[in-house]
Structure 1
């Protein structure tokens, strides 16, 4: 049983990465889609109760935000994988500019999220932690950032 937590600013490619790597295997839990923390908690709890693999596709830039998911998942016997989307501000701004309607985040909001970013580490309770970069061809490059000894 795997719980995956994405960490990254808006426009960093998290949702695209989900579609490319987890769409067929993990349920996507996104506050953007569910709209309320209550609904989000219900989905997380349903996944935990049924042993369903899931991805939390939110910014999760604060340790305190990640801690809730990590604690619930680990207590239920899930392996917790963190994917840290290395901030590439110019690319995130460009990708965000391609969005329309409410999906587009004001520049001030995107930069505010970046400013609050607390880089993740294994001590938070992750079993595995990866860094995701985007190369010049807009391909995702995933590297193990840290793994337990």
Structure 2
């Protein structure tokens, strides 16, 4: 049983990474899709009770926001993996502008998330933590070595 928690500002490739790596194996919990915290909570509870692997595909910029998922997953016996999506703000804004109009996040929203961003660390309760960035060849995934932003 595995819970994967994404962290990163908008436009860093989180949803694309989910589709490429976890679409066939993990349920996706995403506020973009579910629209409300209530729906997210219902689906999270269902995954935990059914022992269904899941990915939390939200920005999750703060320790407090990540802690609710980590605690619930740990209590249910899940292995908890963190994935931190690093990107320069300018690059994320460019990718955001390339999205279909209805999927774009206002610039103020991206910048606000960046200002709140707390880089995840193993002390939060992750069993594994990965640093992910986009390159011209796709995603580069590295085991967590140090804190970077």
TM-score when normalising by structure 1: 0.94
Who is 2:100 aligned against?
100
Q: CA deviation at 1:100?
A: 2.5
Cα distance in 2 for residues equivalent to 1:56 and 1:8 = 12
Match of residue 39 from structure 2:
39
Aligned residues: 145
SS at match of 2:140: strand
Q: Give 1:133 shift.
A: 1.0
Shift of 1:64: 0.5
1:142 partnered with 2:141: yes
Root mean square deviation, CA, Å? 1.0
Structure-to-structure mapping, 1:57-136, within 5 angstroms: 57-135=57-135
Q: TM-score, normalised by structure 2?
A: 0.94
- State the shift of 1:134 in Å: 1.1
Shift >3 Å, 4+ stretches: none
1:28 aligns with 2:28: yes
Q: Matches of 2:50 and 2:106 in 1, distance apart?
A: 37
Is the partner of 1:119 in helix, strand or coil?
A: coil
How far 1:87 moved relative to its partner? 2.6
Q: In the TM superposition, what is the alpha-carbon distance from 1:101 to its structure 2 partner?
A: 3.3
Gaps of 5+ in 1: none
How much does 1:98 deviate? 1.2
Deviations 1:75-94 (A, max 9, x none): 00000000000132222111
Which stretches in structure 2 are left out of the alignment for 5+ residues? none
Contact 1:73 1:80 in 2 (8 A): yes
